[in-house]
């Protein structure tokens, strides 16, 4: 086989297509010759037609097609008549839970049988063939290149691109703003981020007419100290309109009731800025629930090891040390919401967070006090 090379094909003579004695195959081969293809090896899979093995192969393929049709029919039948509507908690004995599997099984196998049928046909019944075709890699012929070059030159000459440089320059000059004009409407998307990273739903002036913002649970119930037992925690939101919705993505807070001994440690570790505003109330501390890494809720509170874990990137925060990061990619503590209890016995926020909660952003001010111990 290695004797074949590109020159072998040149030996094949063109045939005269008007010759009436040509067989179909000879005409066909002339087509191959014109496409620079040469047959290395070509023979029917079954040299003698109608042998037992050939018949057997045909039977297999047609069997596969019939099976495919059968499964397709089953699919349509199941699609229409199999009970499918969701009816509440169900076990594997309820037929509607099998609707999707039955669809997948029937359609899948219908397609697979047809596929194997076609593939078997191609592999076992088509003639064994090996052909070699000239690749004609590389560029065009020198003539073609020369002609193309002259053509382009003629076009350039006709337009006078070389003779009229001023025209070209003004066209380019105009095209630049025109291009800009094409993308300018995208500017409709631009919005001033404003204070969206720094002001949260706890801001009394912006969201509560200057009155301290109360603390509520998701269902709107205001939170009292006795609603959180030692070692417990609840997720709380600003008690304002839509305070517990996604409109205030940096507002959710984890209100933790520390055990006495843990609260003692936290009080010892508290950053000066939190000491100054007396951010804790009793043994209660309110940490922003939004991770300072990229903003998932860091809400896996481990009440024995006193860690808060963020499930997205495994940042870990030390609850008894201002929720300072102790592991993982986070770099900042979870801001504490300064809280107190009002005259009616409900929690309320003393102010907004002292530092922006949530993930860092490019123009986030780096306040020196947040690193102070």
Partner 1 sequence: MAASAKRRRGWRKRLGALARFTGALVIVGGIYSVFSPSLYAQEAEDNAIDSEVVKGQELYDTSCISCHGDDGEGIEGRGPSLIGVGSAAVEFQVNTGRMPMAAQGAQAPASDYPVFTEEEAEWLGAYIEYLGGGSAVPDDLAALVENSDVAEGGELYRVNCSSCHGYAGGGGALSSGAHAPALTGVSDEEIYQAMLTGPQNMPVFADNELTPEQKADIIAYVQYVVNGDKDPGGVFSLGRYGPSTEGLAIFLVGMTALLLTTLWIAGKS
Partner 2 sequence: MKRRKGSSDSLLTKAGGELDDRFKLAGPARVLFNKVFPDHWSFLLGEIALFSFILLLLSGTFLALFFDPSMVEVTYDGAYVPLQGVDMSRAYESTLHLSFEVRGGLFMRQMHHWAALLFMASILVHMLRIFFTGAFRAPRETNWMIGIVMFWLGFFEGFFGYSLPDDGLSGTGLRIMEGMTASIPFIGPWASAALFGGQFPGTTVIPMLYIIHVFIFPLLLLALITVHVALVFIQKHTQWPGPGRTEHNVVGFRMFPNYVMKQVGFMLFIFGVLAAMAGLFQINPIWLFGPYEVSVVSSASQPDFYVMYLDGLIRLFPSWELRIPPYFTLPPVFWPGIVGMGLSVMLPLLYPALERRFTKDRGHHNLLQRPRDNPGRTSLGMMVVVFWIIGVISGGNDVFAEKFHISLNAMTWAGRIGLVVLPIITYYVTYRICLGLQQHDREVLAHGLETGILMRDPNGRFYEVHQPLAEPDEHGHTELEYNGWVVPKKMNRVGALPPQDKGFFKSIEEPSENGASSHEEIESGKH
Pick the closer one to partner 2 by CB: 63 or 165.
63
Handedness of CA 217, 219, 222, 226 (dihedral sign): negative
Site string for partner 1, 324-363 (x = CB under 8 A): ---x------------------------------------
- Strand 316-318, strand 324-327: pairing: antiparallel
Among 20, 21, 81, 92, indicate the residue that binds partner 1 (CB under 8 A): 92
Stretch that binds partner 1, among 84-92, 136-144, 175-183, 341-349 (CB under 8 A): 84-92
* Contact partner, 154, from partner 1, partner 2, none, Cβ < 5-8 Å per class: none
Structure tokens, 138: 């590389």
Measured from the CB atom, the residue of 200 and 233 that comes closer to partner 1 is 233
Ordered strands of the 307-309 beta sheet: 300-302, 307-309, 316-318, 324-327
Residue 311 binds to partner 1 (criterion: CB under 8 A): yes
**CA distance linking residue 116 with residue 61, whole number of Å:** 8
Q: Does 206 bind partner 1 (CB under 8 A)?
A: no
Task: Show Cβ contacts of residue 139 under 8 Å, excluding neighbours closer than 6 positions.
Answer: 145
Pattern 237-266, partner 1, x by CB under 8 A: -------------------x---xx---x-
Contact 211, 203 (CB under 8 A): no
Binding partner 1 (rule: CB under 8 A), the pick from 17, 27, 90, 173 is 90
Identify the residue whose tokens are 């050939």. 54
- Supply the minimum distance, in Å, between the C-beta of residue 161 and partner 1: 52
CB burial of residue 248 (10 Å; 0-12, 13-18, 19+)? buried
Sign of CA dihedral 236, 239, 245, 246: negative
Q: Which does 277 bind (CB under 5 to 8 A by kind): partner 1, partner 2, none?
A: none
φ/ψ bin of 138: left (φ > 0), alpha (ψ from -120 to 50), beta (otherwise): left
Taking the complex as a whole, the smallest distance from the CB of residue 302 to partner 1 amounts, in Å, to 4
- Residues near partner 1 (CB under 8 A) are 86, 89-92, 94, 96-97, 99-101, 104, 119, 123-124, 218, 226-235, 256, 260-261, 265, 297, 299-305, 307, 309, 311, 314, 316, 327
């Amino acid at each position: 086989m290695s004797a074949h090379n590109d020159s072998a094909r040149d030996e094949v003579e063109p045939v005269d297509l008007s010759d009436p004695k040509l067989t179909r195959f000879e005409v066909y081969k002339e087509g191959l010759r014109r496409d620079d293809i040469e047959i290395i090896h070509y023979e029917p899979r079954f040299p003698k037609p109608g042998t037992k093995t050939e018949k057997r192969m045909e039977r297999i393929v047609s069997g596969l097609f019939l099976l495919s049709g059968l499964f397709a029919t089953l699919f349509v039948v199941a699609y229409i008549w199999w009970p499918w509507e969701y009816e509440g908690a169900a076990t594997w004995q309820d037929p509607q839970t099998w609707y999707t599997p039955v669809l997948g099984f029937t359609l899948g196998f219908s397609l697979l049988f047809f596929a194997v049928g076609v593939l078997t046909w191609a592999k076992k019944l088509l003639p064994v063939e090996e052909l070699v075709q000239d690749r004609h890699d590389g560029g065009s012929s020198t003539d073609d290149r020369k002609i193309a070059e002259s053509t382009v030159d003629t076009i350039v000459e006709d337009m006078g691109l070389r003779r009229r440089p001023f025209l070209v320059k003004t066209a380019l000059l105009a095209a630049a703003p025109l291009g800009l004009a094409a993308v300018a409407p995208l500017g409709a998307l631009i919005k001033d981020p404003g204070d969206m990273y720094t002001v949260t739903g706890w801001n009394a002036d912006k969201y509560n007419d200057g009155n301290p913002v109360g603390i509520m649970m998701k269902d709107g119930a205001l939170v009292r100290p006795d609603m959180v037992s030692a070692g417990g925690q609840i997720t709380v939101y600003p008690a304002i309109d839509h305070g517990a919705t996604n409109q205030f993505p940096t507002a959710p807070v984890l209100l933790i009731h520390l055990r006495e001994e843990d609260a003692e440690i936290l009080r010892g570790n508290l950053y000066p800025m939190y000491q100054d505003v007396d951010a804790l109330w009793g043994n209660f501390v309110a940490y922003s629930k939004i991770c300072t890494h990229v903003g998932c809720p860091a809400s896996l509170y481990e009440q024995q090891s006193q860690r808060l874990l963020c499930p997205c990137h495994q940042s870990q925060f030390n609850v008894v040390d201002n929720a300072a990061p102790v592991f993982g990619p986070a770099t900042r503590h979870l801001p504490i919401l300064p809280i107190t209890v009002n005259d009616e016995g409900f929690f309320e926020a003393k102010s907004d967070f002292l530092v922006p909660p949530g993930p860092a952003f490019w123009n986030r001010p780096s306040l020196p006090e947040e690193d102070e111990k």
